[in-house]
Amino acid sequence: MATATAQPAKDEALLELQRRMLRQMLLVRRFEEKAAEAYALGKIGGFCHLYIGQEAVAAGSLAVLRDDDYVISSYREHGQALVRGVPANAVMAELFGKATGCSRGKGGSMHLFDAGRRFMGGHGIVGGHIPLAAGLGFAIKYRGGDQICLCYFGEAAVNIGAFHEALNMASVWKLPIIFCCENNRYGMGTAFERVAAVTDVVEHACSYDMAAELVNGMDVMAVYGATERAAERARKTGHPTLLEVRTYRFMGHSMSDPLHGVYRTKEEVEEQKKRDPISQLVVKLKEEGALDDAALDALDAEVRAVVEAAVQFADQSPDPDLSELTSHVLVE
């Protein structure tokens, strides 16, 4: 009896988690689609790197984190910011460069910050933020806390020195960090195997005596599980973990890049789209009877409304005052 009653409760909690992650993934998907549209309309400028196809990584990993943990990422961070809880309005307004943006319109797509949510930024230099993650981990250890730092980067960053220097120090100093490598197979237009001698990123962990795990990034629960294990390791022992999360981006490197270009085929992209993490989760939830078409439509309509409202909010928000030009260069 006891087991019989406990089991459904646990299942219900799991299903609830999955439904929540589904909503997050859908929100990110619709948000990014709208961002692409706004970019095409000239409302968003500069570089704009979309997360479409990789939603399960953010949703699965961030579901593990506490509010007092740190998150830091590269420039493909819209999805992570949204999942972390940065309001869609603030993210879209930032993409629009508006004063109401999460970085007051001064950072843009690549530099989303929300210090209150300990979202410590998108960073624009490939791999440059990985040592920063080590520093955040260092600060946690310095203060004796049990927080962790979750650091996202692409597989191309593995070829840069900062990655190795940071992993070495994180391991030798035992810093509570999850290095989450989102391996989407292409650094801009260059296939990873063309420029990396070691193509399994997890193997780099051996060089630094670090725990590691290879994860299916199209399966949100797999990401969740691996992150949960890494987080526990970090909180309990202080040891860092390298996760290689295999994923795929369905869009070009940035909005100024073609969908597939000459570095990958249309067929490859179409083939990968069959592994769409959202579709997979929808199928799974439907199989478990936790979701039906009506509920899915309702969920989709709800997130579309959120995104639509975000666009309107961003559109109607004011540009930063010209005085913002010179503020925040230094702390006064």
Partner 1 sequence: MPTLTYRDALNQALREEMQRDPSVFLMGEEVGVYQGAYKVSRGLLEEFGPMRVVDTPIAELGFAGVGVGAAMAGLRPVVEFMTWNFAVLALDQIVNSAAKILYESGGQVPIPIVFRGPNGAALQLAAQHSQAWESWLAHIPGLKVVAPATPADAKGLLKAAIRDDNPVIVLEGEMLYNTKGDVPEGEHVVPIGKADVKRAGTDVTLVCHSKTVVPALKAAEQLQEQGVSAEVVDLRSLRPMDEETLVASVAKTNRCVVAEEGWPHCGIGAQVVDIIQREAFDSLDAPVLRVTQADVPMPYNRQLERAAKPSPEKIVAAARRVCYLD
Q: Name the minimum Å distance from CB 141 to partner 1.
A: 8
Q: Which stretch binds partner 1 (CB under 8 A): 20-28, 167-175, 203-211, 258-266?
A: 167-175
Tokens at 91, concatenated: 């993210």
Q: Name the minimum Å distance from CB 222 to partner 1.
A: 28
Q: Name the minimum Å distance from CB 133 to partner 1.
A: 6
Q: Name the minimum Å distance from CB 202 to partner 1.
A: 21
- Does 136 contact partner 1 by CB under 8 A? yes
- Classify the phi-psi angles of 185: left when phi > 0, otherwise alpha if psi is within -120 to 50, otherwise beta: left
Cα–Cα nearest to 278, from 82, 5, 15, 30: 30
**Separation CA 173–CA 175 (nearest Å):** 6
Q: How many Å is the Cα radius of gyration of the chain?
A: 20
- Does 204 contact partner 1 by CB under 8 A? no
CB 56 within 8 A of CB 247: yes
- Does 178 contact partner 1 by CB under 8 A? no
How many C-beta atoms lie closer than 10 Å to residue 263's C-beta? 16
Residue nearer to partner 1 on the CB measure, 39 or 138: 138
Binding mask 15-54 for partner 1 (x = CB under 8 A): ----------------------------------------
- Does 131 contact partner 1 by CB under 8 A? yes
- Does 239 contact partner 1 by CB under 8 A? no
Backbone angles phi, psi at 214, to 5 degrees: -95, 130
- Does 1 contact partner 1 by CB under 8 A? no
- By residue count, the chain amounts to 332
Residue nearer to partner 1 on the CB measure, 242 or 291: 242
Residue nearer to partner 1 on the CB measure, 265 or 327: 327
Backbone angles phi, psi at 279, to 5 degrees: -60, -45
Residue nearer to partner 1 on the CB measure, 142 or 273: 142
Residue nearer to partner 1 on the CB measure, 159 or 168: 168
Question: Interaction with partner 1 in 281-320: which residues (CB under 8 A)?
Answer: none
**Residue 260 amino acid letter:** H
| Interior angle at CA 86, CA 151 and CA 83, nearest 5 | 60
Query: Site for partner 1 (CB under 8 A): which residue of 17, 33, 124, 315?
Result: 124
- Does 179 contact partner 1 by CB under 8 A? no
CA 275 and chain centroid, separation: 18
- Does 70 contact partner 1 by CB under 8 A? yes
| Interior angle at CA 166, CA 122 and CA 186, nearest 5 | 55
CB 159 within 8 A of CB 196: yes
- Does 322 contact partner 1 by CB under 8 A? no
CB 53 within 8 A of CB 276: yes
Q: Which stretch binds partner 1 (CB under 8 A): 107-115, 198-206, 222-230, 285-293?
A: 107-115
- Does 238 contact partner 1 by CB under 8 A? no
Q: Name the minimum Å distance from CB 254 to partner 1.
A: 18
Q: Residue 154 forms beta bridges with which residues? A: 182
- What does each C-alpha distance from 11 to 16, 126, 218, 283, 289 come to in angstroms? 8, 40, 21, 17, 12
- Does 101 contact partner 1 by CB under 8 A? yes
Q: Which stretch binds partner 1 (CB under 8 A): 19-27, 46-54, 130-138, 234-242?
A: 130-138
3-state helix, strand, coil in the chain (%, to 5): 50, 10, 35
**Separation CA 114–CA 121 (nearest Å):** 7
**Separation CA 90–CA 108 (nearest Å):** 11
- Does 161 contact partner 1 by CB under 8 A? yes
Applying CB under 8 A, the residues found at the interface with partner 1 are: 70, 72, 101-107, 111, 113-115, 120-121, 123-125, 128-142, 161-162, 165-166, 168-169, 172-173, 327-331
